[in-house]
């Protein structure tokens, strides 16, 4: 076999033990909160039928789906004309029937429709699995990354929206974040704003412009609106809405006035008010909740609430988002099933936690005790202690005899093992083993029983 | 969008909440034991460079690797001659540079070589990730399935082999298996057996025949050996070795006599003896340990110990296996790094546990309390209790008001929720909420505080 310089494909990553420990800390925390709120885990296959995925992510998305080459003699069934004309697009479906999932949402919709008769609705599911996108890799953008989603289908209650906010608050608080904002908006408010200036057909242009308020200021927004064909009168009417000030309650009151002539706009206000009412009796731990009518993500599928979460402690884009969609499963023929969902941006949360040094030391500790032997005979003294430690659920290792003690202690340090027990001929004779606190350097001589008592 | 009848690709599976809960029970148990023994988790990308995988699994294996079609205009760089002659094999590498991992072992070898300067050896890693094989799907054989491996590289100590046996014993005991056998053999013993009849070159024929003893009996084995060119004298010399009887110690003693003229054979016996010596001071909980010289799995890569685990409670093939390999990383240019590893067959363990009804009820329980409301006003009474329950880490849900109580209780039953709290106008007025044990049907009226005290 030729020797190959080993590497991983562009945009993919290995995760070392230290990285895995931190990633598990994030995922376990979020999963625990999902479960606490009644969400249950499912998994779907990594590969879906290509036809399940095609057409769900727009033309650009379709190109970014990783296709799997049919097994066996795939050219036998290939589109000859496409091959001859080197038409890759046309050839694809004749040599590829399967593809890697691009997100967790479409597979979830497929799951709900396929298993609708086994599911008790409302169905609250969470899913934490990798997805694949043939995007150009860059800092923070990978071709394989985990998504971390919770969705409920079959319940129109706004209690779900309120609970999503509580889930964000609880999970991010548990992860140690101390200052973050959960922004909420409602598609119906955006529809209302378009309606009052009689520009419902231009809602995308309108919301794209408003969404830039943070970056380009009101002046820039006005410029863009005018360019897109909005009139001065439109802009004058929009200005107070876009520049809403005050508390969430004050903003809502102003909005109600401005949207007084839009039934759908007022409905959006009512929905936001209902969510706030639910939250009034459930104090948030850390999050700042902010009604932000410039928030317009996912406008092509969200029909009600829209969420976005940002940390205020580090320069970082959104670390979470979601919303309500009324028509998720209709792409697979099941109509009228309303749903809502949220997602955690695990990779970004990881980066924020690294930057702020939020991972607890315990997240990185795996082995708690390493027993080191000066000589092979010591192993037989070590083994009963080792088994006792493990019987008390203490992660423990015995370094196989034969290596120099320095190498064994280096191993302990590399693995961040907090305690070592050293056994040499003195220790075998006296029955007193040397136990060392690797952090302080303190060491003492104790019997195996005393060591056990000290460490359990 | 056209409506598509939704399905998953052949040989792949969705996992429902109930299935996931059971699968997590298995994986969490095994991972916990791996960690207790000092193994640390890594993850590698789902896709590897095709060149990393090709040539590692034999010609048959190469065909079963799922290849990923290059993104974009893949035909532009395609091998024109291969397309014109419809030569799929030849065309593959020109339109596919990446593939889905086929097992966890080759990616692990690649990982070790790629990261050798960051790793502290001995490196004890575990990995639980899906693998993909374009095998023909059949009962118990899937195109996507999880492997669950622990390996150590950079340590020749037989302590590792002893600990693998302890890991099997502890993990399978924790899962509730009550009667299983861990078989152990050593490649060097098999080499010794071939050597004493001077047929070292025919070791594969020899071990393939011996391996069938269980199925075809000694008579069948003899017949096959003669067919393969072994002499009557060979067979006479082999017979007592193949038909070893007695305890493990008795078998070892007989083997030592038979292999007296084979240095490598005696070394194999010494290694097995050393493993037994380690285990003598570490009582196994459940497993029967059996020296079985007919065990010959993975003979093309194992160089020392060979393991296989079988349950004796259900008709099922091997539920685990492994061994020592001296040359894993040389395929990527790093020589002289010895390693050993084991694998758990999670899908088979799942099937055994289902058959024997071994999953604890707690594995299937997710939500512990469901609060049901007769009317919307009750939600506001429910919310503070809900938050109190969750603050005490009790997984709890509030069913959104509006549905009939029967539907709400059906939901509780479908999710196997053990307690419901029902709130109607009576309860709102009196402050006494009805709490019901869903298993016994018992119900009582208690204040919210008393319910909390009862359930925490």
- pLDDT tens across B163-185, in order? 999 999 999 999 999 999 999 99
The string of DSSP codes covering B79-107 is: -HHHHHTT-HHHHHHHH--EEE-S-SHHH
Q: Which residues pair with residue B145 across a beta bridge? A: B131
DSSP H or E segment with residue B128: strand B123-132
Out of A46, A71, A125, name the one closest to residue B130 (CB). Answer: A46
Q: Which of B343, B323, B326, B331 is nearest to B154 (CA)?
A: B326
Instruction: Identify the CATH assignment for B17-49+102-356 out of 3.50.50.60, 3.40.50.2300, 3.40.50.261, 3.30.930.10.
Output: 3.30.930.10
The interface predicted TM-score of the complex, written ipTM, equals 0.95
With contacts defined as CB-CB under 8 Å, which chain B residues touch A400? 122, 155, 157, 159-160
According to the model, what pLDDT value does residue A246 have?
A: 95
**Parallel, antiparallel, or unpaired: how do β-strands B396-398 and B369-373 relate?**
parallel
**Stronger pLDDT, A362 or A427, i.e. the higher one:** A427
Q: What is the pLDDT along chain B (456 residues), one digit of tens a residue?
A: 445 579 999 999 999 999 999 999 999 999 999 999 999 999 999 999 999 999 999 899 999 999 999 999 999 999 999 999 999 999 999 999 999 999 999 999 999 999 999 999 999 999 999 999 999 999 889 999 999 999 999 999 999 999 999 999 999 999 999 999 999 999 999 999 999 999 999 999 999 999 899 899 999 999 999 999 999 999 999 998 988 999 999 999 999 999 999 999 999 999 999 999 999 988 899 999 999 999 988 777 899 999 999 999 999 889 999 999 988 899 999 999 999 999 999 999 999 999 999 999 888 889 999 999 999 999 999 999 999 999 999 999 999 988 999 999 999 999 999 999 999 999 999 999 999 999 999 999 999 999 999 998
Within an 8 Å CB–CB cutoff, is residue A361 touching chain B?
no
For the sheet containing B305-311, what is the strand order?
A: B40-41, B123-132, B144-153, B339-344, B320-325, B305-311, B180-186, B288-291
Determine the pLDDT at residue A214: 87
Average pLDDT over every residue of A422-440: 95
Mean pLDDT calculated for residue range A224-229: 94
Q: Flag whether residue B48 sits within 8 Å of chain A, measured between CB atoms.
A: yes
The minimal CB distance from A47 to the residues B64, B144, B415 is found for B144
**How does pLDDT run across B33-81, given as a tens digit for each residue?**
999 999 999 999 999 999 999 999 989 999 999 999 999 999 999 999 9
User: Is pLDDT at A137 greater than 50 in this prediction?
Assistant: yes
Q: What whole-number distance in Å separates Cα of residue B416 and Cα of residue A168? A: 26
- Distance between CA atoms of residues A449 and B454, nearest Å: 39
What are the Cα distances from residue B44, in Å, to A16, A161, B114, B125?
Answer: 9, 36, 12, 12
Look at residue B4 in the predicted model and tell me its pLDDT.
55
Give the model's pLDDT for residue A1.
45
Q: Which of A125, A379, A394 sits opposite B159 (nearest CB)?
A: A379
CB contact under 8 A, B37 and A390: yes
Backbone angles phi, psi at A135, to 5 degrees: -70, 160
Q: Which residue in B2, B9, B102, B120 has the most chain A C-beta atoms within 10 A of its own C-beta, making it the best mutation to test that interface?
A: B9
Instruction: Tell me if residue A437 falls in helix, strand or coil.
Output: strand
pLDDT digits over A2-14, tens only?
Answer: 455 799 999 999 9
Chain B residues in contact with A383 (beta carbon < 8 A): 278, 281-282
Q: Residue A373: exposed, middle, or buried by beta-carbon count in 10 A (0-12, 13-18, 19+)?
A: buried
**pLDDT tier at A297 (50, 70, 90 boundaries)?**
confident
Residue B429, C-beta contacts closer than 8 angstroms, at least 6 positions apart: none
Q: How much is the pLDDT for B5?
A: 79
Q: What is the pLDDT of residue B214?
A: 87
Contact across the interface for A97 and B278, Cβ inside 8 Å: no
A297 is in an annotated binding site: yes
Mention every residue, 6+ apart, whose C-beta is less than 8 A from residue B25: B175, B359, B360, B363
Distance of CA A212 to the CA centre of its chain: 25
Strand partners, B443: B436
What was the pLDDT predicted at A3?
52
CB-closest option in B95, B330, B390 to A36: B390
Residue A427: predicted pLDDT: 93
Contacts of A392 (CB under 8 A, 6+ apart): A452, A455, A456
Sign of CA dihedral A58, A59, A64, A68: positive
CA distances from A61 to A10, A346, B16, B433 (A): 19, 21, 28, 51
Q: Which residues are within 8 A (CB) of A117 and not within 5 positions of it... i.e. 6 or more apart?
A: none
**Residue A310 · residue A288 · CB < 8 Å:** no
Residues 6+ apart with CB under 8 A from A277: none
Identify the helix (H) or strand (E) that includes residue A450. Answer: helix A448-455
Query: A78 has which bridge partners?
Result: none
Q: Of the candidates B17, B42, B73, which has its C-beta nearest A125's C-beta?
A: B17
A92: which chain B residues are within 8 Å (Cβ-Cβ)?
Answer: 69
Give the residue from A12, A18, A88 with the most B CB atoms within 10 Å of its CB, the best one to mutate: A88
C-alpha distance across the termini of chain A, in Å:
50
A210–chain B nearest CA distance, Å: 30
The answer to whether the CB atoms of A366 and B40 lie below 8 A apart is yes
In this complex, the residue of B4, B45, B132 whose CB is nearest that of residue A52 is: B4
Q: Is A302 annotated as a binding residue?
A: yes
* Residue A151 in marked binding region: yes
Q: Are A151 and A341 in contact (CB under 8 A)?
A: yes
Q: Which residues of B touch A63 (CB under 8 A)?
A: 71-72
Establish whether the linkage from the previous residue to B219 is cis, with ω within 30° of 0: no
Phi-psi region of B146 (alpha: psi -120 to 50; beta: other; left: phi over 0): beta
For residues B12 and B20, what is the distance between their CA atoms, to the nearest angstrom? 15
Predicted local confidence at residue A121, as pLDDT: 96
The structural domains of chain A, with segments of one domain joined by +, span 17-49+102-356, 366-455
Q: Measured between CB atoms, does B9 come within 8 Å of chain A?
A: yes
Query: Would you give the DSSP letter of residue A432?
Result: P
Handedness of CA B348, B352, B355, B357 (dihedral sign): negative
- % of chain A surpassing 70 pLDDT: 99
Helix, strand, or coil here: A8? coil
Which chain A residues are within 8 Å of B143, Cβ to Cβ? 47
pLDDT of residue B3: 52
Interior/surface letters B314-335, b for 16+ CB within 10 angstroms, e for the rest = bebebbbbbbbbbebbebbebe
Q: Give the H or E element holding residue A396.
A: strand A396-398
CA distances in angstroms from A250 to A185, A242, A255, listed in the order given: 15, 14, 9
Helix (H, G, I), strand (E, B) or coil at A93: helix
Q: Are A180 and A319 in contact (CB under 8 A)?
A: yes
The pLDDT of residue A439: 94
Residues B296/B254, Cβ–Cβ less than 8 Å: no
- The reply to whether B284 touches chain A by the CB within 8 Å rule is no
Distance CA B110, CA B116 (A): 10
Give A189-257 as a 3 state SS string.
HHHHHHHHCCCHHHHHHHHHHHCCHHHHHHHHHHHHHHHCCCCHHHHHHHHHHHCCCCCHHHHHHHHHH
pLDDT tops 90 at residue A298: no
Cα–Cα distance, A65 to A103 (Å, whole number): 10
What pTM was estimated for this model as a whole? 0.96
Nearest to A366 among B35, B66, B143 (CB): B35
CATH superfamily assigned to domain B366-455: Anticodon-binding domain (3.40.50.800)
Comparing CB atoms, the residue among B35, B82, B281 nearest residue A383 is B281
B281–A5 CB contact, under 8 Å: no
> What is the rounded CA–CA span in Å between residue B102 and residue B131?
5
Calpha distance B207→B326 (Å, rounded) = 20
B400 touches chain A (CB under 8 A): yes
Contacts of A362 (CB under 8 A, 6+ apart): none
B142 is in an annotated binding site: no
Give the mutation candidate from B8, B334, B337, B401 for the A interface (greatest A CB count, under 10 A): B8
Contact list, A16 vs chain B (CB under 8 Å): 42, 115, 118
The verdict on A58 touching B (C-beta cutoff 8 Å) is: no
Residues A402, A376 contacting (CB under 8 angstroms): yes
Quick count: other Cβ atoms within 10 Å of Cβ A455?
Answer: 18
Tell me how far apart the alpha carbons of residues A136 and A440 are, in angstroms, rounded to a whole number: 47
pLDDT at A362: 85
State the pLDDT at residue A317.
Answer: 86
DSSP class of A453:
H
Task: Write down the H helix ranges in A246-327.
Answer: 248-258, 263-280
The pLDDT assigned to A365 comes to 83
The reply to whether A96 touches chain B by the CB within 8 Å rule is yes
Chain B contact for A400, CB < 8 A? yes
Beta strand A67-68 with A123-132: parallel, antiparallel or unpaired? unpaired
pLDDT value of residue B1: 45
Cis peptide leading into residue B122 (ω within 30°): yes
Which one-letter DSSP state was computed for residue A316? -
Q: B135 touching A, CB under 8 A?
A: no
B4:A332 CB<8 A: yes
Is B77 in the A-facing interface, judged by CB distances under 8 Å?
A: no
B chain contacts of residue A17, beta-carbon cutoff 8 Å: 40-42, 125
Is beta strand B433-437 parallel, antiparallel or unpaired with respect to B443-446? antiparallel
């Amino acid at each position: 076999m030729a020797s190959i310089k080993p590497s991983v494909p562009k945009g993919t990553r290995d995760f070392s033990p230290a990285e895995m420990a931190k990633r598990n800390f994030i995922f376990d925390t979020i999963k625990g909160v999902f479960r606490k709120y009644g969400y249950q885990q499912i998994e779907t296959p990594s590969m879906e039928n290509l036809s399940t995925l095609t057409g769900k992510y727009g033309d650009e998305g379709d190109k970014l789906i990783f296709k799997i080459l049919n097994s066996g003699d795939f050219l036998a069934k290939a589109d000859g004309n496409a091959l001859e004309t080197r038409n890759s697009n046309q050839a694809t479906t004749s040599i590829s029937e399967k593809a890697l999932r691009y997100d967790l949402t479409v597979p979830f919709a497929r799951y709900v429709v396929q298993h609708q008769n086994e599911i008790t609705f409302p169905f609250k599911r969470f899913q934490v699995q990798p997805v694949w996108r043939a995007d150009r890799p860059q800092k923070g953008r990978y071709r394989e990354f985990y998504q971390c989603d919770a969705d409920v289908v079959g319940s129109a209650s706004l209690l779900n929206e309120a609970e999503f906010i509580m889930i964000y608050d609880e999970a991010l608080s548990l992860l140690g974040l101390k200052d973050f904002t959960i922004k909420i908006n409602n598609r119906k408010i955006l529809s209302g704003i378009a309606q009052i200036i009689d520009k419902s057909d231009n809602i995308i242009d309108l919301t794209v412009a408003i969404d830039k308020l943070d970056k380009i200021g009101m002046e820039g927004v006005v410029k863009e609106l005018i360019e897109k064909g909005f009139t001065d009168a439109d802009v004058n009417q929009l200005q107070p809405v876009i520049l809403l000030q005050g508390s969430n309650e004050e903003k809502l009151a102003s909005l109600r006035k401005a949207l007084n002539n839009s039934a759908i706009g007022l409905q959006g206000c009512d929905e936001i008010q209902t969510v706030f009412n639910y939250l009034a009796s459930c104090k948030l731990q850390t999050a700042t909740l902010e009604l932000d009518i410039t928030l317009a993500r996912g406008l092509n599928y969200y029909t009600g609430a829209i969420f976005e979460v940002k940390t205020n402690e580090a320069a970082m884009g959104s670390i979470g988002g979601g919303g309500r969609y009324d028509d998720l499963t209709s792409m697979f023929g099941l109509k009228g099933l309303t749903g809502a969902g949220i997602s955690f941006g695990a990779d970004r949360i990881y980066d924020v936690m690294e930057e702020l040094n939020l991972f607890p030391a315990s997240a990185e500790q795996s082995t708690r005790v390493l027993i080191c032997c000066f000589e092979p005979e010591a192993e037989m003294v070590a083994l009963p202690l080792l088994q006792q430690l493990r019987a008390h659920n203490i992660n423990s290792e015995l370094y196989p005899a034969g290596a120099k003690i320095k190498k064994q202690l280096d191993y302990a340090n590399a693995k961040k093992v907090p305690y070592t027990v050293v056994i040499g001929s003195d220790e075998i004779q006296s029955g007193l083993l040397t136990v060392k606190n690797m952090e302080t350097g303190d060491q003492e001589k104790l019997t195996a029983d005393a060591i056990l008592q000290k460490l359990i």
